[in-house]
Amino acid sequence: MSGRVSVLIVDDSAYMRVVLKDLLESDPDISVVGAARDGMEAIEKVKALSPDVVLLDIQMPKMDGVVTLQRIMKEAPSRVVMLSAMDKMDDQLPLKALELGAVDFISKPSGPVSIDIVNFKDRILEVVKGAAATKVEVLKKSRTATPRRIRPIEEDSVKGHKVIVIGASMGGPRALEILFASLPRDLPASVLIVQHIPYEFSLTFAKRLDSASGPRVRLAADGLELEKGNAYLAPGGKHLMVTKRGRTQLVIRLDDGEPVNFVKPAADVLFKSAAECVGKNLLGVVLTGMGSDGAEGAVAIRHAGGRIIVQDEQSSVATSMPLSVIDAGVADKVLPLDKIPEEIVKFLEE
């Protein structure tokens, strides 16, 4: 894609349509090519205008945003970013939208008609421009991907306390669901996850990953001891770190420091801390995402004797995170998403 990013705004509020248009067009690289007030009008305009990005409100009369998204992805597949008002909605809906093929979601700060949405201008511009760089064909495939459960692992075959750290961003929620649905429930290792996601969706997303029936998933909390067979998701707005208690016990620490790579939590923070504590028994996995978070941490893992797996470009919704690790020269394996679970098992059995 070249030139300005073309955007279609879909919102039942006339006020929000005007505010979002002014906000988006304050960036010279973005052009609003149309607006729609409901789902049926949105589908017609997506077909007529072929925008680079559709900014779609979840709460609308006649046809809500989730149903509209399903129709768009079936009839005219597009890059869709959902707008969600957290004060009056089911917090499962944005995650359901990601499962159905949405690229990302943006929270309206103060309800369906958010007077203060202009205060979140930088975040909105970042997400819309990032969405424009994603691959529609991968979004389509992710909707229908069927996870393949891989064989269980005998715990006696795994030497030491092995740890898997995972970093993901744009496109990550769906990729993580597919990954966890493929891994055995009683994985003889601890897993720690950094997914760039707002705080208000963290607990819901942890529960959603847990329901995939792979390793048990819980929201990370300060002071928790790492246990095999358990995965820990970093809460939005906190850095997730690994420290040692005594000589061998691994413990979670949550840190409220400054953002790293413009994000908090940051995969680099997790990866570097785990590299110091775990060394050669550590596997780092970098999945789909925008930016370069995870690259410096991957270097630290390799220097400590650990291994790195990177999701390949063809199966990633957004490629810059995995490509930054490949460019750093530290990727041991570059694999499509559906091949990563088997490689994790191989690492544990080595």
Residue 148 lies in a domain: no
pLDDT tens digits, one per residue of 230-286: 999 999 999 999 999 988 899 999 999 999 999 999 999 999 999 999 999 999 999
In the set 12, 104, 210, 293, the catalytic residue is 293
Encoded amino acid at 170, one letter: M
pLDDT of residue 21: 96
The model's confidence at residue 110, banded by pLDDT at 50, 70 and 90, is: low
196 is catalytic: yes
Distance (Å, rounded) from C-alpha 121 to C-alpha 341? 38
pLDDT of residue 59: 85
CATH code, 317: 3.40.50.180
Residue 20 lies in a domain: yes
Residues 199 and 128 in one domain: no
In the set 6, 114, 169, 324, the catalytic residue is 169
Residue 146 lies in a domain: no
Residue 29 lies in a domain: yes
The pTM score is 0.92
In the set 107, 196, 315, 324, the catalytic residue is 196
Cis ω on the peptide bond leading into residue 265 (within 30° of 0)?
yes
Q: How many domains does the chain have?
A: 2
Q: How far from chain centre, in Å, is Cα 57?
A: 20
The set of residues, in sequence order, having a beta carbon less than 8 Å from that of 295 and lying 6+ positions away, is 268, 286, 321, 324, 325, 327, 328
CATH code, 105: 3.40.50.2300
Residues 194 and 269 in one domain: yes
Residue 54: domain span: 5-136
Residues 323 and 261 in one domain: yes
Residues 88 and 221 in one domain: no
Residues 80 and 165 in one domain: no
Q: How many residues does the chain have?
A: 350
Residue 44 lies in a domain: yes
- Model confidence at 174: pLDDT above 70: yes
Most confident of 107-111, 153-157, 294-298: 294-298
Residues 129 and 174 in one domain: no
pLDDT tens digits, one per residue of 294-330: 999 999 999 999 999 999 999 999 999 999 999 999 9
Residue 207 lies in a domain: yes
Residues 48 and 118 in one domain: yes
Encoded amino acid at 45, one letter: K
pLDDT of residue 133: 93
pLDDT tens digits, one per residue of 176-185: 999 999 998 8
pLDDT of residue 214: 87
The model's confidence at residue 186, banded by pLDDT at 50, 70 and 90, is: confident
169 is catalytic: yes
Q: Among 75, 101, 136, which residue terminates a domain?
A: 136
Average pLDDT, the chain: 91
Nearest to 127 by CA among 310, 327, 318: 318
Residue 104 lies in a domain: yes
- Model confidence at 166: pLDDT above 90: yes
Residues 240 and 324 in one domain: yes
pLDDT of residue 247: 83
91 is catalytic: no
Residue 57 lies in a domain: yes
